[in-house]
Amino acid sequence: MAVTTSIAPRQKWWNIVYAAICLILGLWGAWDYFVTIPRQEERFVIYQVALAQQLELEDAAKTQPLEPRQIEQYNAAKAIIETFGDDVPELPAAYDRPVQLWLYIIGCGILGTPFFIWNLISLSKVRYHLADDASLECPEGVFTSDQIKDIDMSKWMAKSKAWLIVDPDKRILLDDYKFKNMHVIVGYFASSFHPEDWTGDAKPIKQEDAAEPGGEDAESPSSAPD
């Protein structure tokens, strides 16, 4: 029976989700970098300039009366400070810009988003095809049944990965986590090369330690004590 793999649904959706998350984080980082942080810096400068002017004029008023122009400046500075109320602006931390730039804009937006989109597209194009004559077509090439010598199932139960051993000494990774129907291909070769250990569905065959009742190890009636 011919079998062809396709990208596993979980791989497709995980790559879509990760790409969306990276895009959102990248846009959020860009907004912070180009809008939020500059606004915070501007608010901080405005507050500090108004505060410095207010304190300067208050000190000057201690020695001599303020001139009308100075009184206007004082009232203007005081009004600016009052607009902030209890929300005294603080200067953004020195690491805010580098974090938004390198971690979110570049790391997530510029690198992360294209990576997961490319991974989704590339995995969607990969095909493994097991033909009726037991030949395998895969990204590494086309291999006949005579060229396929064995299959390594040592990591199958732990990581859903198996390796075909192809003549002369080539190993082809079969990853069931990434590709739908891969377990059918793995099961075919595993049951062919190791029929005592694996089923055609790539499931391990439980080895019974004890002999079956009535088997060779069972005690015969003639040998039973009187």
For 150-203, the pLDDT digits (tens) are 999 999 999 999 999 998 779 999 999 999 999 999 999 999 999 999 999 999
> Which carries the bigger pLDDT value, residue 141 or residue 220?
141
Using a pLDDT cut of 90, give the percent of the chain over it: 82
Q: Phi, psi at residue 25, to the nearest 5°?
A: -65, -35
How many CB atoms lie under 10 A from the CB of residue 156? 22
> Which carries the bigger pLDDT value, residue 207 or residue 202?
202
Q: Phi, psi at residue 180, to the nearest 5°?
A: -70, 140
pLDDT for 214 equals 45
Strand order of the sheet with strand 136-138?
A: 3-4, 129-130, 136-138, 141-143
Confidence of residue 220 (pLDDT cuts 50, 70, 90): very low
Q: Which two tokens stand for residue 148?
A: 């396929």
Specify the residue for token string 């980082």: 29
| 3-state DSSP assignment of residue 140 | coil
pLDDT for 207 equals 62
Q: Which helix (H) or strand (E) holds 74?
A: helix 68-84
> Which carries the bigger pLDDT value, residue 211 or residue 92?
92
Write the pLDDT tens digit of every residue in 21-51. 999 999 999 999 999 999 999 999 999 999 9
Cβ atoms of 168 and 42 closer than 8 Å: no
| Structure letter (DSSP) for residue 92 | P
Tell me the pTM. 0.76
Cβ atoms of 162 and 190 closer than 8 Å: yes
Read off the pLDDT of each residue in 126-149 and give the average, rounded to a whole number.
95
Q: Which two tokens stand for residue 3?
A: 């079998």
Give me the numbers of helices (H) and strands (E) for the chain, helices first please: 7, 9
Dump strand ranges (E) for 61-176: 129-130, 136-138, 141-143, 148-152, 161-166, 170-175
pLDDT for 169 equals 79
CA of residue 9 relative to chain centroid, distance: 15
Using a pLDDT cut of 70, give the percent of the chain over it: 91
Residue 221 has pLDDT above 50, yes or no: no
* Type of residue found at 132: D
Q: Which two tokens stand for residue 36?
A: 């939020």
Cβ atoms of 116 and 19 closer than 8 Å: yes
User: CA quadruple 91, 95, 99, 102: dihedral positive or negative?
Assistant: positive
Tell me the C-alpha distance between 207 and 68, whole Å. Answer: 101
Residue 209 has pLDDT above 80, yes or no: no
| Residue ranges of domains in the chain | 8-125, 129-193
> Which carries the bigger pLDDT value, residue 24 or residue 213?
24
Residue 223 has pLDDT above 50, yes or no: no
Residue ranges of alpha helices (H) inside 85-173 are 96-98, 113-125, 156-159
Tell me the C-alpha distance between 28 and 168, whole Å. Answer: 52
